[in-house]
Amino acid sequence: MTTRLSRRQLLQALGMTGAGLVLAPSFLSRAWAASPGDAPTRRALVTVFLRGGADGLSLVPPVEDDAYQRARPTLALKFEGEHAALKLTGPFGLHPSLGALMPLWSEGKLAVLPGVGLPVTPRSHFDAQDFMESGTPGRKATVDGWLNRALLDAKDDAPLRAVALQPTLPRALYGNAGALAMGRLEDFRLRTGRQHGDARQGFSALYSCAVDQALKGAGADAFEAMSKLDGARLAKLPVSPGVTYPGTPLSRRLQDIARLIKGDVGLEVAATEMGGWDTHVAQGVTQGAFARRCEELGNALAAFAADLGPKLDTVTVLVMTEFGRTVKENGNQGTDHGVGGVMFALGGGVKGGVHGRFESLTVDRLQDGRDVPSWTDVRAPLSEALRACRPGVALAKVFPGYREDSALGMFT
Amino acid sequence: MRALPVWPLVAVCLSCASRSQVTAPEAPAPFDEARAVHVLQRLAYGPSASDLSEMKRLGVEGWVDAQLEPASGDALPPGLSAKLQAFPTLGLSMAQLVEDYPRPPPEMPREEKRERGPARVVFERSSARVLRAVESPRQLEEVLVDFWFNHFNVSEDKGAVKWLATSYERDAIRPHVFGTFRELLGATAHHPAMLFYLDNWRSTREGLSQEELRHPRRFRRQAAMMEDAEEEEEAKPKLGLNENYARELLELHTLGVDGGYTQDDVREVARCFTGWSIRQPRKDPGFIFRKVAHDAGSKVVLGQVIPAGGGEKDGERVLDLLASHPATARHVARKLAQRFVADEPPPELVERVAKVFLDTKGDLRAVYRALFQSPEFQSPQARAAKVKTPFEYVVSALRATNAQVEVTPRLLRHLALMGEPLYRAPAPTGFPEVAEPWVNSGALVARLNFGLDLVGGRLPGARVSLDAFAPKQAPSAVEWVDGLGQALLGAKPSEATRATILAALAEKREAASAVDEAPPVDVPLIAGLLLGSPEFQKQ
């Protein structure tokens, strides 16, 4: 996936944007060091974090499990009839508002992992998100995130290798491998009107001689990234013919990620997020808050996949959340914070199907008698995904202290 | 950030002589502008023309003293007062805010929502924070409000907090920043914003049944606890112990993560605070102690027995214990030293300030004084050693350019793009005090754009007149760079910066010279480059 600019292209980029000679040495040495073919089957890894604790039992409801139906008298999805869940395999269905994903399922490009979560049980959003994203459950002192650590083994530091399409950098991308956050691709430029060239050149020169090394590095990355985005006119790159993004916030972000991928700028990981999954009250079944979120999620992912077309094979998408929700619905037609949730994976390297362990939701099998346990430690699918996207990745550094029991088989 | 290896030496050299040398110079020394700028960079939101001249009038020490002891009756300047008075929500009680600015029905037009819904409370609160930071002469108070709000963080993203945070800052934080740590701790512990944010309001003793809580005669007031399920975040509470507040109280507010407490302590502290609750977050948001929810048994916190039957006082005893604990002194001293001195403050400094904290029973004014008078703070090594947070960057740019500010949503959005959406820090840790999380290329581009928008007249709500900075009639490019450099950076720009900006100007002129003989100096370009320069990111 990591198509790199040739030396000649680099020089062109420099000339075209006037990015300044001061940048050239480090810029060129990176391209020099990165000979083509050193990374045979790398894929870009894209994560979509569903914030708030998405109800796995409604995303991928075990509709044919009686215990599920009993636990959720008003919230359970039906297994037949109008508004029924879409049939997957075994007891599982897919929420009908995620219907846009069914073609991917049929093609074997959609994997589902129920009962996945943290091996510890923080009930609060911030703790759970923190552990999910630091990749060190139970350890608060970790400063960097798992996605960032996954990048540390490669020497290449293309400025757009790790991008978050959201205003602030997510916890998972904190760390020493340069990562940058932008609300939209369009925002990542200098707003100078007709002074454009002068200002950028001036700034890049100022930052190249900054005394503060961190500022100097951030500056170099920023101007290099701007040159690349600008050179490829990425922010305006049209979608593939026949594809329409629905225009929701998530779809706009995924569209920008697709542009980075199609633009071959050296993207290795991208992260984005979507809120609104904390459905304590009036969650709804096939109508209402939860269904609307599903629709936004499903349609955005489907458009993203269609937009990438054959390039989808060079990309792996993970959809994750901080925890699942209680098996029993509460008194407000909602659900409360639980433990095990659902992960989706789609795209290249993914083995379609439902994976991992799952059991009937009778009370005796639940954690504390109320929650789907973390039958699968979240680090298992993340490790597998990394191995599929970044062969040779040093997993012991990404997830220190974690030992995989057995292969999950979610990725090839 | 890198440790500064010179410090131990500086500290050793100066520590013995520090008291006499630093606090009371015998004869009035000549005004040391570099030192004045340093003090304004840390105790204020950067130098402004008016604060610099005030400092010249009072002397640096005099100015610091005045900042530490702001007269309580001192009115704000009329201009700032008028701007703040235009925001009706700032002075309202939580109950009034909840009542007057309810969640709007979805069909309400956006304009009306902004006017009559909680969005207005949110906007006015952030606007006031910016305006005060830019214009208030009580700069240290503003810096400390920011520091302590952040230390005891709540986020308006969490449900009812959006109606409660105005009062939280106004009533729980601001009045106590020059008081004792115990006062501040107690005020935050009782405030509905904190009780809601960290879930203590619905923490109950184990074994409490819904029936007991609902009992119509005996516990009529307690029934309210069950009646606040209007919104997603406020589902019917699961009865039982909730450790969120207890954990963050120990880890973030007082002892610190290495403060020597155990998970058992967290649990025991949580038991002590059972019953500390809110009448009804969205209807009647006041503190209430719910006796029925309180765990009346005895507890052991950090080895101290808290006997059975203490009721509401259990929580107070825990706060007493924590506020006077050496680990708290060290934790608070370190955090303050990080804010005011350096990202990695020298341990000796932290120890000294922590000792003052303990000796004075947490008298914050004494603690600040010890910090500001320390050789480490005074050392030239400390100057420009910290990277500004986005808020510090934005406010210092507005002050340095002497901008006329009317806060707009656009201005606030700039802060969010740089990674610091006001009142919305995503975790109870608040926004980081150290540089690393702020220094990334995405946030940097947002900073450069803010500066360019500001001086280019493209920032609605902030008017800058660069002409006012003209060093003389028809200044040359060089004179503009030097003059603006001094005014905006508070010091002469470095040679490299100066040469770079002049080169950028020259190229522009070269391009234009074919058409025009003597094009005017591009002053906004100079100012934009200066505000975006690495120097201006530091303080």
Instruction: Identify all chain B residues contacting A205, using CB atoms and an 8 Å cutoff.
Output: 500, 503-504
Give the per-residue pLDDT at B222.
Answer: 46
- Nearest chain A alpha carbon to B385: A212
The C-alpha of B272 sits at a distance from chain A's nearest C-alpha, in angstroms, of 20
- The whole-angstrom separation of Cα B466 and Cα B457 is 10
Choose among A169, A189, A195: nearest Cβ to B525. A195
Among the ranges given (A290-294, A394-398, B221-225, B494-498), the one the predictor scored with the smallest mean pLDDT:
B221-225
**What's the length of chain B?**
539
Choose among B440, B500, B504: nearest Cβ to A181. B440
Mean pLDDT, residues A51-67:
96
Contact B235 A336 (CB under 8 A): yes
Instruction: Identify all chain B residues contacting A211, using CB atoms and an 8 Å cutoff.
Output: 534
Contact B436 A195 (CB under 8 A): no
Contact B534 A215 (CB under 8 A): yes
- The whole-angstrom separation of Cα A305 and Cα B77 is 58
Give the per-residue pLDDT at A138.
Answer: 83
**What's the length of chain A?**
412
Using the Cα atoms of residue A157, residue A159, residue A160 and residue A163 in order, give the sign of their dihedral: positive
Instruction: Identify all chain A residues contacting B439, using CB atoms and an 8 Å cutoff.
Output: 214-215, 218
Contact A212 B534 (CB under 8 A): yes
B498 within 8 A of B452, measured Cβ to Cβ: no
Q: Where are any strands of DSSP class E within B180-280?
A: 276-280
- Nearest chain A alpha carbon to B531: A203
Higher per-residue pLDDT: A30 or A141 = A141
Choose among B441, B444, B504: nearest Cβ to A201. B504
Residue A198 clears pLDDT 80, i.e. is over it: no
Contact B534 A126 (CB under 8 A): no
Give the per-residue pLDDT at B505.
Answer: 86
Per DSSP, the three-state class of A102 is helix
Instruction: Identify all chain B residues contacting A130, using CB atoms and an 8 Å cutoff.
Output: 427
- Nearest chain B alpha carbon to A177: B440
Instruction: List CB contacts of B156: < 8 A, sequence separation 6 or more.
Output: B122, B125, B162, B165, B423, B424
Interface confidence (ipTM) of the complex? 0.85
Contact B456 A193 (CB under 8 A): yes
Instruction: List CB contacts of B298: < 8 A, sequence separation 6 or more.
Output: B305, B306, B307, B308
Give the per-residue pLDDT at A12.
Answer: 38
- Nearest chain A alpha carbon to B429: A126
Instruction: Identify all chain A residues contacting B505, using CB atoms and an 8 Å cutoff.
Output: 198
Question: Can you spell out the DSSP letters for B89-126?
Answer: GGG--HHHHHHHSPPPPTTS-HHHHHHHSHHHHHHHHH
CA A188 to chain centre: 20
Among the ranges given (A20-34, A128-142, B75-89, B415-429), the one the predictor scored with the smallest mean pLDDT:
A20-34
**What's the token pair of residue B134?**
């830019």
Tens digit of each residue's pLDDT (9 = 90 or more) over A295-353: 999 999 999 999 999 999 999 999 999 999 999 998 778 898 899 999 999 999 999 99
Instruction: Identify all chain B residues contacting A284, using CB atoms and an 8 Å cutoff.
Output: none
Instruction: Identify all chain B residues contacting A210, using CB atoms and an 8 Å cutoff.
Output: 534
Give the per-residue pLDDT at B351.
Answer: 98
Residue type, B122: V
Judged by CB atoms within 8 Å, which residues 33-62 of A form the interface with B? none
Choose among A124, A174, A280: nearest Cβ to B232. A280
Nearest in space to A223 (alpha carbons), one of B442, B505, B97, B276: B442
Contact B534 A141 (CB under 8 A): no
Could you give the residue ranges of the DSSP H alpha helices within B152-198?
161-167, 181-190, 192-197
The C-alpha of A104 sits at a distance from chain B's nearest C-alpha, in angstroms, of 32
**What are φ and ψ of residue B300, in 5° steps?**
-125, 115
Q: Which residue has the tokens 């490009």?
A: A109
Instruction: Identify all chain A residues contacting B234, using CB atoms and an 8 Å cutoff.
Output: 280-281
Strands A376-377 and A110-117: parallel
- Nearest chain A alpha carbon to B386: A212
Residue to substitute from B247, B441, B537, interface A, most A β-carbons within 10 A: B441
Per DSSP, the three-state class of A50 is strand
Give the per-residue pLDDT at B225.
Answer: 54
Contact B416 A167 (CB under 8 A): yes
- Nearest chain A alpha carbon to B198: A124
- The whole-angstrom separation of Cα B247 and Cα B251 is 6
Choose among B416, B507, B532: nearest Cβ to A203. B532
Instruction: List CB contacts of A286: < 8 A, sequence separation 6 or more.
Output: A77, A83, A95, A96, A97
Contact B522 A198 (CB under 8 A): yes
- The whole-angstrom separation of Cα B422 and Cα B419 is 9
- The whole-angstrom separation of Cα B366 and Cα B535 is 32
**What are φ and ψ of residue B306, in 5° steps?**
-110, 105
Choose among A174, A202, A203: nearest Cβ to B437. A174
The C-alpha of B243 sits at a distance from chain A's nearest C-alpha, in angstroms, of 10
Instruction: Identify all chain A residues contacting B443, using CB atoms and an 8 Å cutoff.
Output: 181, 218
Higher per-residue pLDDT: A162 or B510 = A162
Give the per-residue pLDDT at B489.
Answer: 93
B284 within 8 A of B160, measured Cβ to Cβ: no
Choose among A198, A207, A330: nearest Cβ to B525. A198
Tens digit of pLDDT per residue, chain B (539 long)?
Answer: 444 444 444 444 444 444 444 455 555 668 899 999 999 999 999 999 999 999 999 999 999 999 999 876 668 999 999 999 999 999 999 999 999 999 888 788 989 988 999 999 999 999 999 999 999 999 999 999 999 999 999 989 888 999 999 999 999 999 999 999 999 999 999 999 999 988 899 899 988 887 777 665 544 444 455 444 333 333 344 578 888 899 899 999 999 988 999 989 999 999 999 999 999 998 899 999 999 999 999 999 999 999 999 999 999 999 999 999 999 999 999 999 999 999 999 999 999 999 999 999 999 999 999 999 999 999 999 999 999 999 999 999 999 999 999 999 999 989 988 889 999 887 788 888 888 778 877 889 999 999 999 999 999 999 999 999 998 888 899 999 999 999 999 888 999 999 999 998 887 666 666 555 566 888 999 999 999 999 999 99
Chain B CB within 8 Å of residue A290 CB: no
B165 within 8 A of B149, measured Cβ to Cβ: no
Instruction: Identify all chain A residues contacting B419, using CB atoms and an 8 Å cutoff.
Output: 167-169, 181
Instruction: List CB contacts of A166: < 8 A, sequence separation 6 or more.
Output: A181, A183, A253, A271, A272, A273
Instruction: Identify all chain B residues contacting A188, using CB atoms and an 8 Å cutoff.
Output: 442, 445
Contact A212 B537 (CB under 8 A): yes
Contact A190 B234 (CB under 8 A): no
Contact B417 A180 (CB under 8 A): no
Chain B CB within 8 Å of residue A133 CB: no
Contact B419 A279 (CB under 8 A): no
Q: pLDDT band for position A17 (50/70/90)? A: very low
Centre a 10 Å sphere on the Cβ of residue B241 and count the other Cβ atoms it contains. 17
Chain B CB within 8 Å of residue A189 CB: yes
Instruction: Identify all chain A residues contacting B244, using CB atoms and an 8 Å cutoff.
Output: 124
Judged by CB atoms within 8 Å, which residues 211-230 of A form the interface with B? 211-216, 218-219, 221-222, 225-226
Chain B CB within 8 Å of residue A198 CB: yes
Give the per-residue pLDDT at A11.
Answer: 34
Residue A10 clears pLDDT 80, i.e. is over it: no
- Nearest chain B alpha carbon to A196: B525
As separate numbers, helices (DSSP H) first and strands (DSSP E) second, chain A gives 13, 11
Judged by CB atoms within 8 Å, which residues 113-132 of A form the interface with B? 124, 126, 130
Choose among A169, A183, A334: nearest Cβ to B440. A169
Chain B CB within 8 Å of residue A203 CB: yes
